[in-house]
């Protein structure tokens, strides 16, 4: 058996697969750009999905015609280092989706690829519609940081006041940090909420009592490395 022999490649078939893959991946990119949940880089990331699908399709179409080319591809990929970290799970999911389109069509599995595409996209659209209808939105993981110069109050009084406010406004709060040097009190609380009005109310109530308090609220979900 000659492992170096290259099977003939049908140019019309490859062109049809490329156009078909472009169509599917463009719809995928439009969905990601318009309806994706990722908060960053959707407009820049989405146009890359069709390119990824077509490049994958081309590679599979070429290497499937020769065992030697397939082994060469494995060797080439083993020396390439991809150092860009994917921080958002949704980005990773759509990357795999685009690659899967290219793999399926590159292997001439058009019907299977189309069926899988319809099922997956149908699920994504149905989930989005249900969330919109029921007004389901994920709770953000938040950190409340309060820095309070101590003058007319004590650590205990300030801590009890702030803890009482958070207990009244939020269902559950965890104290993550308590620092003091006798001149300043620094508190860090962890909680979950999806209502901006609640956050504003908490900040206003604290500053009504302590006008010199420094308050910051940080969302943990989208921190780099989080």
CATH fold of 140-219, please? Alpha-Beta Plaits (3.30.70)
> Which tens digits make up the pLDDT trace of 11-70?
889 999 999 999 999 999 999 988 887 766 788 889 999 999 999 898 888 887 665 566
Closest C-alpha among 91, 8, 3, 85 to residue 49: 91
Q: What confidence tier does 81 reach under pLDDT thresholds 50, 70, 90?
A: low
Closest C-alpha among 120, 9, 95 to residue 45: 95
Q: How many CB atoms lie within 10 A of CB 54?
A: 21
H-only helix segments in 36-183: 42-45, 48-63, 67-78, 89-106, 110-133, 155-169
Look up residue 199 and give its two tokens. Answer: 């956050």
> Which tens digits make up the pLDDT trace of 144-185?
899 888 776 777 788 888 889 888 888 888 888 888 887 888
Look up residue 25 and give its two tokens. Answer: 């991946």
Q: What is the widest separation between alpha-carbon atoms in the chain?
A: 90
Segment holding 35, helix H or strand E: helix 11-35
The domain segmentation of the chain, as residue ranges, is 11-133, 140-219
Using the CB atoms, write b or e for 184-193: b if 16+ within 10 Å: ebebbbebeb
Q: How many CB atoms lie within 10 A of CB 127?
A: 11
> Which tens digits make up the pLDDT trace of 121-132?
999 999 888 877
Closest C-alpha among 88, 207, 189, 200 to residue 142: 189
């Amino acid at each position: 058996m000659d492992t170096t022999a290259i099977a003939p490649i049908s140019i019309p078939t490859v062109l049809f697969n490329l156009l078909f893959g472009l169509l599917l991946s463009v719809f995928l990119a439009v969905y990601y750009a318009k309806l994706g949940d990722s908060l960053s880089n959707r407009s820049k990331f989405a146009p890359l999905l069709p390119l990824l699908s077509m490049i994958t399709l081309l590679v599979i179409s070429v290497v499937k015609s020769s065992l030697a080319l397939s082994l060469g591809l494995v060797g080439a990929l083993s020396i390439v280092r991809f150092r860009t970290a994917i921080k958002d799970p949704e980005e990773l999911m759509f990357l795999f989706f685009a690659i899967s389109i290219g793999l399926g069509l590159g292997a001439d599995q058009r019907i299977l690829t189309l069926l899988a595409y319809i099922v997956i996209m149908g699920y994504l659209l149905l989930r989005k519609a249900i969330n919109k209808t029921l007004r389901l939105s994920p709770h953000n993981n938040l950190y409340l940081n309060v820095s309070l110069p101590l003058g007319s109050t004590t650590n205990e009084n300030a801590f009890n006041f702030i803890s009482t406010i958070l207990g009244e406004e939020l269902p559950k709060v965890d104290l993550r940090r308590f620092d003091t040097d006798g001149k300043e009190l620094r508190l860090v609380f962890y909680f979950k909420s999806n209502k901006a009005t609640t956050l504003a109310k908490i900040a206003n109530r604290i500053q009504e009592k302590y006008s010199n308090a420094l308050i910051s609220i940080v969302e943990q979900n989208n921190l780099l490395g989080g």
